[in-house]
Structure 1
Amino acid sequence: MIDTIFHVVLVLAMPPLLLGVIGKTKAAFAGRVGAPFLQPYYDMGRLMKKGIVLSDSTTWIFRAGPVVTLAATLFAALLVPLGKHPAPISFEGDMILFAYLFALGRFFTTTAALDTASSFEGMGAAREVSFSCLAEPTLFFALITLTRLSGTMSLTPMLQHVTPPVWMATGASLILLLAGLFVVLLAENCRIPFDDPNTHLELTMIHEVMVLDHSGPYFCCVLYGAALKLYLLGALFVNIALPFASGNAYLDWATFAAGMLLLAVAIGVVESVMARLRLIRVPQLLVAALILTAFSLVLVVR
Structure 2
Amino acid sequence: MIAGFLLHLCLLLLFAPLLQGVITRTKALFAGRIGAPLLQPYFDLRRLWGKGFVLSRTTTWVFLAGPAVALTVPVLASLLLPFGGLPAPISFEGDLILFVYLFGLGRFFTALAALDTGSSFEGMGAAREVTFSCLAEPTILFSLIVLARISGGLSLNSLFGPHLAGAWGTGAAAPLGLILVCLFVVLLVENSRIPFDDPNTHLELTMIHEVMVLDHSGPALGMILYGASLKLMVLGALLVRLAFPWQTGHILGDVLVFLGGLLVLAILIGVVESTMARLRLVRVPQILIGTVLISIFALVLVLRST
Name the TM-score class by shorter chain: over 0.9
Cα offsets for 1:249-282 (capped at 9, x unmatched): 1111100000000000000000000000111111
For 1:64 and 1:81, the matched residues in 2 are separated by 28
Q: Which residue of 2 aligns with 1:41?
A: 42
Long gaps (5+) in structure 1: none
Partners of 1:80 and 1:216 lie apart in 2 by 31
SS at match of 1:193: coil
- More off after superposition, 171-180 vs 3-12: 3-12
- 2:121 corresponds in structure 1 to 120
Q: Could you tell me the TM-score, scaled by structure 1's length?
A: 0.98
Counterpart mapping for 1:57-206 below 5 A = 57-169=58-170, 170-206=172-208
**Shift of residue 69, structure 1, vs aligned partner:** 2.0
**Match for residue 262 of structure 2?**
260
Contact in 2 for aligned 1:179/1:292 (Cα 8 Å): no
Counterpart of 2:197, as a letter, is D
Cα deviation code 1:113-142 (max 9, x no counterpart): 000000000000000111111100000011
Report how many aligned residue pairs link the two structures: 302
- What is the correspondence of 1:4-43 to structure 2 with a 5 Å cutoff? 4-43=5-44
Quick one: which amino acid aligns to residue 9 of structure 2?
A: V
The one-letter code of the counterpart of 2:50 is: K
In 1, the alpha carbon distance for the partners of 2:96 and 2:63 equals 29
SS in structure 2 at match of 1:89? coil
Asked if structure 2 preserves the Cα contact closer than 8 Å seen for 1:192 and 1:276, the reply is yes
Alpha-carbon shift at residue 158 of structure 1 (Å): 1.1
Q: Alpha carbon RMSD of aligned pairs, Å?
A: 0.9
Matched, 1:52 2:53: yes
Residue among 241, 246, 249 paired with 1:247: 249
SS of the equivalent of 2:86 reads: coil
Residue 3 of structure 1, CA deviation: 2.6
Q: Which amino acid aligns with 1:300?
A: V
The percent identity for this pair of structures is: 61
Q: Give 1:70 shift.
A: 1.3
Whole-angstrom CA distance in 2 between matches of 1:161 and 1:146: 12
What is the rounded CA distance, in whole Å, between the counterparts of 1:271 and 1:288 in structure 2? 20
Which ranges of 4 or more aligned residues in structure 1 deviate by more than 4 Å? none
2:236 is aligned with 1:234: yes
Per-residue CA deviations over 1:72-124 (Å, capped at 9, x if unaligned) read: 22111111111132011111111111111100000000000000000000000
How far does the alpha carbon of each residue in 1:7-29 deviate from its partner, in whole angstroms, 9 at most, with x for none? 11111111100000000000010
State the shift of 1:161 in Å.
4.6
How big is each residue's C-alpha offset from its partner over 1:208-233, in whole Å with a ceiling of 9 and x where there is no partner? 11010001110011001111111000
Change (3 A) 1:31 1:103: same
Give the conservation status (yes or no) of the 8 Å contact 1:93–1:154.
Answer: yes
Letter in 1 for 2:97: I
Q: Structure 2 length as normaliser, TM-score?
A: 0.97
1:129 counterpart letter in structure 2: V
Aligned to 2:278: 276
The Cα of 1:283 is off from its aligned counterpart by 0.7
Structure 2, unmatched stretches of 5+, are none
Tell me the distance in 2 between the aligned counterparts of 1:80 and 1:35: 31
